[in-house]
Structure 1
Amino acid sequence: MSLPRLVLIAALFTTGDSALAEARDLAQFGDRAMARAEVWFQAGPTYSQDHCFTVDGGYSPTDWDGMLGGCHQPYYRTDCSGFVSMTWGLSVSYATPRPGGGRDLGDITDPIRREDLRTGDALVASGKHVRLFERWTSRDYSSYLAYDFGETPVKHQEYRWGGPDELAYMPVRYRGA
């Protein structure tokens, strides 16, 4: 076999291996995010934008003069964006994306199509709220299961896309996923 042909075959196998590794990493990211979300769901922290929480250490006050978001690993702010920051394993609690941006989840995510949502992605209502997407519960992408920390306790339930009292959510994916 000629050298160029061997190089081509090796390149094909390498590409396939990296695609498999990427798919495995993405699945692991989503699985880890769901596992972390379930821990907080079971622990039942109280919603507050002024407290940090970790399952092992309980509560601590935010330090708004310190790092971004007032909380850093292993503590996270006990609000929707702190919850998503925790599930993604971020080093600090980012804020909910908002117009004008600046040091929020919008800095580390990219918009995606609704049909492309996968486990561990987020749904953002700009300046208002963020949810952690788990999976579609309908074939027509009209209902989904998500974790939501907009009030106490953390919720894990089915939502209807565009349903009554629903915010206008934009699907996003963490760039580190």
Structure 2
Amino acid sequence: MTAPLFEEVDPGNGCDCPGCVHGRRTSARPPSGRFGGRPATRGVVTVAAAATAALGAIPQAAALGIGAPTPPVPGTAGASDVTPQTPQGARSPLHGPAGKPARPAASPTPATTRNEIIKRAKVWVTAKVPYSMSAYWSDGYRQDCSGYVSMAWGLTSNEWTGSLAEFGVKITKDELQPGDILLFHNPDNPEAGSHVVIFGGWTNGKHTEYTVYEQTPPHARSQPTPYPYWSNGSKYVPYRYKGLTTGSAGGQATGGKSATPFPGAAYFGPGANNKHVTELGRMLVARGAGSFYTSGPGPVWGEADRRATQAFQRAQGWTGADADGRPGPGTWNLLVTGRGRSIPGGTTTPGSPASHGVPGFPGRTYFRPGAENDYVTRLGQQLVKKGFGRFYATGPGPRWGDADRRAVEAFQRGLGWRGGAADGYPGPETWRRLFA
């Protein structure tokens, strides 16, 4: 498959989106340094230039209407509202340069989930929204690569490759999950290859190919793409949206439940008695904290819960107030997604059975959309041994995907289970029978 080419694709004259309507009203002068206007505008410029040559009386600058000073270069003082020379437009409010934001910009990073990001990205792909540096879709976002990401992330403005990094944090390749982006911005020459795409999930166990969601000529699309991209591979940087909240990593598997959001610090500590304490304890046991519990875990907060939580926090390299034994959003997120480091030398629940050298069932949190751990690999390998390898094109690997879910579902149905008992997600009984 050939690499996509980036070029200007102007919308038709009949387009009535806010951006095009505004463009037709204010297109008397093309952008400085190039004739980038619409066909009608270029016709006016050509006639004016011909008249100048024939009469020889009107200075060329006056005929073309470009007597204004050259706009500042992007990245310098006063350049924030100037269209950069790049295959995308400049920073602008929603609904075009002259429009008003669709909603109050109370926060530059509105909260959203991975599921919502992928869902919005798919809308443009389904509609085959045409690529354009100047047109705006009905939702108010510019129809280029950076406008597409602005839309998917739910930003309150249209950004460009030179500003999108402000709304995210750098991550590594191993940390990539659906809804994150791969950004290449060339500050020395923004027009030379600058591009941004949305990561939709790995398509193989070796992590050499992934599903991409991107806006590129002729229209928005989604397809398997080599990591990190077809060209300029060493220059793409992974970023995660700052406003991301706990939720399903959409696009990886179907039928999964969203990870349980952090209930709040008030649910943990002396005197607490609730289901969240039990859930915390079970997740900690799955990460090697079994030796801290002589019984349970249970709903009543105790010293065992505090010590187990502290051990997990210290395993992440945290110290001081960050390892006080009381779970916060960071601790909880690592536990529910199966990420982070497990407790070194830890054990599961005392007396938990082993199956062919594999520890007892680690917990349901290890088998959710977006989870990536050794238990997923072991599960897949055992499913292959049991005759369910047809669901895997590659792998099995450590990242939970739809192939794992379908293989588990087939195994469960082979046991005669139906309905919710055959949902494709392993529980203690599925695990026991699989490794028996």
Q: Do both share a fold (TM > 0.5)?
A: yes
- Residue in structure 2 matched with residue 140 of structure 1 by the alignment: 206
| 1:48 and 1:77 in contact (8 A); partners too | yes
- Residue in structure 1 matched with residue 129 of structure 2 by the alignment: 45
| 2:117 and 2:152 in contact (8 A); partners too | yes
The higher-RCO structure (CA 8 Å, 6+ apart) is 1
- What letter is aligned with 2:141? Y
Task: Find the structure with the greater CA-based Rg.
Answer: 2
Query: Following the alignment from structure 1 to structure 2, what is the Cα–Cα distance between the partners of residues 39 and 106?
Result: 23
Give runs of aligned pairs for residues 29-108 of structure 1, distance below 5 A.
Answer: 29-54=113-138, 74-97=139-162, 104-108=163-167
Query: Following the alignment from structure 1 to structure 2, what is the Cα–Cα distance between the partners of residues 53 and 164?
Result: 27
- What letter is aligned with 1:109? G
Which protein is richer in strand relative to its size?
1
Query: Following the alignment from structure 1 to structure 2, what is the Cα–Cα distance between the partners of residues 162 and 108?
Result: 20
| 1:81 and 1:94 in contact (8 A); partners too | yes
Cα pair distance change 1:153/1:146, threshold 3 Å: same
Query: Following the alignment from structure 1 to structure 2, what is the Cα–Cα distance between the partners of residues 45 and 164?
Result: 22
Query: Following the alignment from structure 2 to structure 1, what is the Cα–Cα distance between the partners of residues 152 and 225?
Result: 19
- What letter is aligned with 1:152? P
**Runs of at least 5 residues in structure 2 that lack an aligned partner in the other structure:** 1-110, 187-193, 245-436
- The count of residues paired between Structure 1 and Structure 2 equals 126
Query: Following the alignment from structure 2 to structure 1, what is the Cα–Cα distance between the partners of residues 206 and 143?
Result: 33
The reply on whether 1:114 has 2:173 as its aligned counterpart is yes
Pairwise CA distance, 1:166: 5.0
Query: Following the alignment from structure 2 to structure 1, what is the Cα–Cα distance between the partners of residues 216 and 225?
Result: 14
**Deviations along 1:94-141, whole A, 9 cap, x unmatched?**
1113xxxxxx10111111000100110000012300001110112222
- Residue in structure 2 matched with residue 174 of structure 1 by the alignment: 241
- What letter is aligned with 1:77? R
Pairwise CA distance, 1:146: 1.1
Query: Following the alignment from structure 1 to structure 2, what is the Cα–Cα distance between the partners of residues 96 and 51?
Result: 17
| 1:129 and 1:150 in contact (8 A); partners too | no
Query: Following the alignment from structure 2 to structure 1, what is the Cα–Cα distance between the partners of residues 229 and 159?
Result: 27
Query: Following the alignment from structure 1 to structure 2, what is the Cα–Cα distance between the partners of residues 105 and 162?
Result: 18
**Deviations along 1:48-103, whole A, 9 cap, x unmatched?**
1111112xxxxxxxxxxxxxxxxxxx400100010011011111111113xxxxxx
| 2:169 and 2:242 in contact (8 A); partners too | yes
| 2:125 and 2:220 in contact (8 A); partners too | yes
Query: Following the alignment from structure 2 to structure 1, what is the Cα–Cα distance between the partners of residues 216 and 141?
Result: 15
- What letter is aligned with 1:122? I
Query: Following the alignment from structure 1 to structure 2, what is the Cα–Cα distance between the partners of residues 85 and 53?
Result: 12
**Runs of at least 5 residues in structure 1 that lack an aligned partner in the other structure:** 1-25, 55-73, 98-103
Pairwise CA distance, 1:38: 1.0
| 1:120 and 1:132 in contact (8 A); partners too | yes
- What letter is aligned with 2:159? Y
SS in 1 for 2:113: helix
Pairwise CA distance, 1:165: 3.3
CA RMSD of aligned residues (A): 1.8
Query: Following the alignment from structure 1 to structure 2, what is the Cα–Cα distance between the partners of residues 38 and 141?
Result: 22
Query: Following the alignment from structure 2 to structure 1, what is the Cα–Cα distance between the partners of residues 223 and 118?
Result: 13
- Residue in structure 1 matched with residue 426 of structure 2 by the alignment: none
| 2:182 and 2:228 in contact (8 A); partners too | no
Cα pair distance change 1:173/1:87, threshold 3 Å: same
- What letter is aligned with 1:149? Q
